[in-house]
């Protein structure tokens, strides 16, 4: 006789076998498991729970309960993303990431306010110094290549130019 499989089973990609929908308690437990691993935005957590087959009403109720308890806060989440990404990414890349994670534009702008232009310049200069130290010899297009790498990491053009000038321009010229 074949082995009996459970009514519902979740796989790695979030696909769900048919079966009875999860109870609100199961939705809450799944949400807590996700939050215990790392912080999530409200939209990100809702998307993950929905993909796992949890009913929309249960998901919204759980999200509201988590917000009331202080376990789910988009503003704190956005601030942590900015703190974590600021050493290696510019404000444009961070804003794009926050948007992809479902953070409202106003909340993202407020979180990015903690990453002022002078700090952006300092981070960009550190990155230029690291990139310059890794480059072999003096190449004619070094400033353009490093500048392009900073731009791809989301730094504004003015910050890119200032950082490249601060590190790569010869002060004796």
123 and 84 part of one domain = no
Residue 151: give the domain boundaries: 117-168
Would residue 108 count as lying in a domain? yes
**What pLDDT is recorded for position 173?**
47
Say if 129 falls within a structural domain.
Answer: yes
- Does residue 50 share a domain with residue 65? yes
Question: How far apart are alpha carbons 167 and 71 in whole angstroms?
Answer: 43
Q: Which residues pair with 145 in a beta bridge?
A: none
Q: Is residue 142 part of a domain?
A: yes
Global pTM? 0.74
CATH number at 87 reads 1.10.10
Q: Average pLDDT in the 78-103 region?
A: 94
d(Cα 19, Cα 98) in Å, to the nearest integer? 35
* 28, 84, 97, 169 from 18: Cα distances, Å: 20, 39, 33, 64
Does residue 52 surpass a pLDDT of 80? Answer: yes
The answer on 164 and 122 residing in a single domain is yes
Q: How many domains does the chain have?
A: 3
C-alpha 137/C-alpha 50 separation (Å) is 53
Class of residue 18 by CB neighbours under 10 A (exposed 0-12, middle 13-18, buried 19+): exposed
- Using alpha carbons only, what angle is made at residue 27 by residues 35 and 13, rounded to the nearest 5 degrees? 70
Asked if residue 34 belongs to a domain, the reply is yes
Question: Same domain, yes or no, for 102 and 135?
Answer: no
User: Do both 88 and 46 map to the same domain?
Assistant: no
Q: Is 160 found in the same domain as 121?
A: yes
Mean pLDDT of the chain: 86
Q: Is residue 101 part of a domain?
A: yes
What percent of the chain has a predicted confidence (pLDDT) above 70?
A: 84
Residue 4 counted as domain residue = no
**Are residues 28 and 59 part of one domain?**
yes
Residue 9: inside a domain, yes or no? no
Is residue 53 within 8 A of residue 8, CB to CB? The reply is yes
173 within domain boundaries: no
Q: What is the pLDDT of residues 26-36, one digit of tens each?
A: 999 999 999 99
> Do 122 and 161 belong to one domain?
yes
Mean pLDDT of 1-20: 54
């Amino acid at each position: 006789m074949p082995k009996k499989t459970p009514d519902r089973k979740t796989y790695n990609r979030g696909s769900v076998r048919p079966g009875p929908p999860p109870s609100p308690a199961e939705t809450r437990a799944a949400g807590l498991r996700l939050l215990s691993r790392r912080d999530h935005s409200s939209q990100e957590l809702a998307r993950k729970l929905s993909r796992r087959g949890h009913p929309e009403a249960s998901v919204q109720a759980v999200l509201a309960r988590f917000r009331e308890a202080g376990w789910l806060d988009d503003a704190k989440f956005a601030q942590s993303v900015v703190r974590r990404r600021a050493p290696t990414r510019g404000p444009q890349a961070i804003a794009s990431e926050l948007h992809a994670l479902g953070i409202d534009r106003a909340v993202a702008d407020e979180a990015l306010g903690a990453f002022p232009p002078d700090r952006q310049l300092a981070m960009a200069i550190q990155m230029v110094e690291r990139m310059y130290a890794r480059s072999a010899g003096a190449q004619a297009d070094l400033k353009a290549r490093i500048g392009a790498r900073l731009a791809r990491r989301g730094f504004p053009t003015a910050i890119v130019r200032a950082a490249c000038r601060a590190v790569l321009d010869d002060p004796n010229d």
